[in-house]
Structures are given as structure tokens and as C-alpha cells.
Amino acid sequence: MKFILTPGTLTLDDIKKILDEETVIELNPNCHEKIYAAEEVVSKIILENKTVYGINTGFGSLAQTRIDSNELENLQRSIVLSHAAGTGELLSNKAVRLILALKINSLARGYSGVRLQTIEALIKLFNEKIYPCIPSQGSVGASGDLAPLAHLSLALLGIGDVSHDGEIISAEHALQKIDLNPLILAPKEGLALLNGTQVSTAIALLALLETENIFVAGIISGALSVEAALGSVTPFDARIQEIRGHAEQIKVAKMLRELLHQSEIIQSHQNCEKVQDPYSLRCQPQVMGACLSHFLFAQKTLVIEANAVSDNPLVFAEQDEIISGGNFHAEPVAMAADTLALSIAEIGALSERRLAMLMDTRFSGLPSFLVNNAGVNSGFMIAQVTAAALASENKSLAHPASVDSLPTSANQEDHVSMATFAARRLLTMTENTAGIIAIELLAACQGIDFRRPLKSSPVLEKVFAEIRKHISYYDKDRFFAPDIAAAKSIVKSGVLTQRVGWVVWFFSKPH
């Protein structure tokens, strides 16, 4: 599938298309003129022997050092080599694919002064599925994601390793396979490739997309738990939400009402003596609504950043100026990631509390630990311990990364964002929360089995059927981990959204 990239216009739907391995990128030719114009400004600086940061000076605290014209080519190559100083596990091919796309999108806007040839080389790597090997650690998210982007840029020089067709091969060999000569970087190109927030932004976007499925599954599992515990739908009344005024809370309550509509289980206990449910059931619109609000803030910020020009200095060809600023500082990404972390943690924390409530016969009225012959059978006892462990881990990971800062580059870069770690830890958190919700789904379906022959709502019966298609009723103790793994796969796949027939309208596109 061909995707025509008009630089600076990516939407979240576009990003999803780009992540599809069958997508190839082609630049909208309308952007060429701006790319050529910015390149011309850089060339003019060299011809006129002017001193401009990043073109003919050192970098960071060496910015005052003027570089001779005959060393400019070596200068750009050297910055890539010296800055490729990352460590740790390699980023996934999926992450690197998105990083490449975001770097192409940024450079092609025509404010970076790089040649079209350099951008097209990045496009060639993307289209041929040649993914530079990028260590995950080494960026503090200020002056851009320097180390990881340097590792990405090495591939253009034919240095380092890449992932291609499931194998790790040398970049030199990969370039030969696609008939691409190693680049000789022009003035400013090394710095433009290394500066930028594309790594932290790409990783945060991957976590954002994971959170979509987790959020939907969390609402569905919450509705199933209401059924299993004979909970009340009264707290989801539209009037309660409307007089508080939060749009996202109103949306979540509406979803819960729709999920529970026409439930035989709900109708069976309408005149019961129970007065109120625990907060984990009753306050779902308030908690999940707040999570949705934070999600939408992060979504808006990250989509803006995906289209941003975040290297330095910047070339404004129309004014024939090169201006040094600080767009490389990834504080917006770090704060968006920290905000998303809170949502992911709370979605999981609420789910774990509902799970614990279902197993407690005093609250749910269900058999202890959701199993017959408790004592001989332990049922969901340790599954809930697993969920508690995951929820507790998320609490630690949710600590804001953006409040941390260590000066670098001899105090020239004296405040940093830690955006890359802020984003990277989100992927662990989404895995954890997916696991928690998976266990709750199993528990809620087990509870509904105990409520038979009464049926849940028509919508939730479809979800129940999907779960039972893969995981059978827990009649006695068995090897539990495969059940959790199967349920977690369902949570992450997005199939639950399909089963309930939703257009996920609460993830409204930011404007």
C-alpha cells in the first residue's frame, strides 16, 4: 500500500497505516521546493564563510569552536560516530519503523537544511524494511534523542548493524542489497539527523495505541464485573454525569449503560436490599473518564510532536535566516508520557480492585475465590496475587520521569526531559495492565457462569462467548497461566471492540 506523505500532516490514523509492514512511503513532490530552498541557505553560509552553529562550529559546549571548511564533511560524520553511544536492549523493529517515518516527516518539512537525497535514503530504508539496530538506553530527551538517532543514522553511512528479513546483518551489506551507496553527509546533515524527538515520540505513540485497546477492554471488563457481582447500573445514570460536567465521564457512563442494556442479570435484582456498590464498580465513569481525559491530552500532544520540526538550528529560507532555538527539548513528550502513565496505572488499579471484590464472597455473593469446593481448589487466589503484583509495579513505574533532570555536556545542557525513558516504561505498563484486565475478564466470566441460567446483556454475551471460545469454565484447579496468556492476547488484539460492535468514538481526533 502506497502512502503519500505530505510533511507535517500526519494523523493518528496515518500513523497506524505507516506501522503496517505493507505500507511504502512516497513524498508528496510539493515539499521538494522547501527542501531545496533550505539546502541552498546552508550552502550560501558556507560560500560566504559565515559562522553558524551546527554548520561550521562544534556542538554542545564546543559550540564556540569554529571548524575549517575542509573539515566540514568530517565534522558531520564524526558527530554521528561519537554520538552513537547507546546501550541496552535493541528497540523493536516496529518502534524503529515509526522512528524512521517521523524523522522523514520532520526533515521533509524543509526547515532542517538537509538534501532531498538524504531524506530519500531514509525512505529507502523504510520501504525496504531495513531497520537500524538502536539500543534503547542513552537518551535524556534534550538536544534531541541524540544517541538513538545516531545509531539510526549510522546505517546511512554503512556502519553498524540493521535488522532485515528477521536477521541482524551489517548496514554495509544491507545497503548493497538495495543498491544504496553509503552517504557522505553534507554540512548540517549529521546534526539534523541526530537532533529531534522522534525516538521518544515514536515509543510513546506505540504505547498510546496499546492503551486504546486496554481502555476499551477495561470498560468491558468493568461492565462484566458489574454483572457478576450483581451491581447496580444506577450510578451510571446520565443525570449524575451531566451535572458534574466532564465530557469524558459522560462518555464512559454512556458506554457502560449501553453495555448493560437489556441484561437479565441486572433485571433479576432490581428490588434487592443492597444500598451501594464498592467504588471500583460505582465510580467507573469518574475514574475511567479521568483516564480518558488524560489519554486524549497525550494523544493531542504526541500527534503534534509527530509532525514537529525538532532539530536545531532551523532554516527559514523565506527570510534567508538560520536560527538556533530549543525545539529539541522533549518536555512536551515527557509530560504527555507521564500523563499517559497515570491513566495506564489507574485503569489497571481499578481492574485489580474489581477482581479482588469478585473473589470476596462478602461483597460479590459468589463462591470464595470463584471456584466450587474452595479449600481443595484455590481457584483465582493466586491469579489475583499476580494482578496485585502487576498493579503495584505500575505504581512505581507511574512516577513522573519529567521531574528528573541531570545536566549533561559540561552543563551546557543543564535541564533535560527524560522523555525517552518516560515513553519506554509505558510499554511495560501497558503489558502489566493488559495482564490485570485479562485476569479480571476471566474472573467476571466465571462469575457470570455462576449466575446462569440468567443471561447478561446481548452485547456482553458476545464478549462472554469470545472468552469462552478460547478459555473454558474453571471447574477445578488447573494450570492457570495459559488461561491468562490467552485472555491477555484477546485484550491486546482489539477483538473485544469488534465483538461489542463499537466505533470507538470516545477517542475523538484532536484538532
Residue 217 phi, psi (nearest 5): -65, -35
CA distance 34 to 151: 27
Separation of CA 389 from chain center: 22
CA–chain centroid gap for 431, Å, is 12
Residues for the chain: how many in total?
511
Angle formed by the axes of helices 458-470 and 198-228, to 10°?
Answer: 110
> Which one, of 157, 118, 150, 123, lies nearest residue 134 by Cα?
150
Q: Is the dihedral of CA 29, 33, 34, 38 positive or negative?
A: positive
Peptide bond between residue 453 and the one before it cis (omega within 30 degrees of 0): yes
Strands 2-5 and 24-27: parallel
- The alpha carbon of 204 is separated from its chain's Cα centroid by a whole number of angstroms, namely 4
Supply 354's cell numbers. Answer: 474489581
Q: Which residues pair with 170 in a beta bridge?
A: 161
Residue in 157, 154, 147, 19 with CA at minimum distance from that of residue 93: 19
Active site residue 53: yes
The neighbouring-strand residues paired with 316 are 321
Q: How far is CA 499 from CA 108, 233, 337, 448, in A?
A: 40, 21, 30, 18
Catalytic pick among 36, 53, 131, 474: 53
Residue appearing with cell numbers 551489517: 170
Measured in whole angstroms, how far is the alpha carbon of residue 420 from the centre of its chain? 12
Measured distance between the N- and C-terminal CA atoms of the chain, rounded to whole angstroms: 27
Q: Are strands 167-170 and 161-164 parallel, antiparallel or unpaired?
A: antiparallel
Nearest to 188, CA basis, from 359, 304, 55? 55
Active site residues: 53
